[in-house]
Amino acid sequence: MTTTAETTPRYELVVLDLAGTTVVDDGLVEGAFARAWDRVKRTDEGRAAALAHVRATMGQSKIEVFRAIADEETAQELNRAFERAIGELIDGGHCAAIPGAEDTIRALRDAGHKLAFTTGFASTTARAVVEAVGWDGLADVVLTPADAGRGRPAPDLPLTALIRTGAGSVASMVVVGDTPADAASGRAAGAGLVVGVLTGGETEESLRAAGADLVLASVAELPEHLR
């Protein structure tokens, strides 16, 4: 079939964050970290400050978050405990799609876009999240910092998505996320469009300050802006 300007998408690749952007983060990350802290540290000393740091670094690689609050051995132990805890919460039903997210993903696929899911979680957790919401096979790739080299706000995740999917240029890429780290990552990668969404609790001002070109109430609004 011959492609035309009407059948070829303006953007080839859409890179979508998971928790907070396409999947509800209703205390999922904080709850898992609290469990991990209580199991590893077993003290309230430093707990509030550590939780505040976790909130402030949403979207970033979790092991890097833990390294900022603990020595390497403890950070690794916290990371393992966090992954176990978040798995428990997912198994307990604490994982659901953002309303309209699946329709958005399917609409983007139908329009001819390549799709990547990205996250700061470990690979096992990323797979568990995707399976929990029934999205196996919907994205061309699912990427974590372990796959890309560095987590957000570095550009590695979007750039790895570009390479893995065979998209033609950074200008043909859209990066979508709910945190300043997501927006900064997309901007550093040279994405043609960086989109922030407000479903993760950030403000429009914070997302734009980090590099978002466009801020939407929800990922459900995305397809109309890519037509």
Domains of the chain, by residue range, sit at: 13-25+96-226, 28-91
Evaluate whether the domain defined by 13-25+96-226 bears CATH number 3.30.1280.10: no
The residue type found at 131 is E
Any idea which of 8-22, 101-115, 210-224 has the lowest mean pLDDT? 8-22
**The tokens of 205 are what?**
């001002």
pLDDT tens track for 55-102: 888 888 889 899 999 999 999 999 999 999 988 988 888 889 999 999
Task: Label residue 128 left, alpha or beta by phi (over 0 means left) and psi (-120 to 50 means alpha).
Answer: alpha
Residue 90 identity: I
Task: Identify the CA nearest to 196 among candidates 115, 208, 187.
Answer: 208
Please enumerate in sequence order all residues whose Cβ is within 8 A of that of 172, keeping only pairs 6 or more positions apart, or say none. 10, 11, 12, 13, 192
**Confidence grade of residue 4 (pLDDT, cut at 50, 70, 90):** very low
pLDDT of residue 2 exceeding 70, the answer is no
What's the pLDDT score for residue 1? 36
Q: By CB neighbour count within 10 A (0-12 exposed, 13-18 middle, 19+ buried), where does 35 fall?
A: middle
Q: Which amino acid is at 219?
A: V
Residues whose CB falls within 8 Å of the CB of residue 41, separated by 6 or more in sequence, listed in order: 47, 74, 78
What average pLDDT does the structure give for the chain? 92
pLDDT for 57 equals 86
H or E segment to which residue 10 belongs: none
Alpha helices in 61-195 (DSSP H): 62-67, 72-91, 101-110, 123-132, 145-148, 156-165, 180-188
Residue 196 near residue 21 (C-beta atoms within 8 A):
no
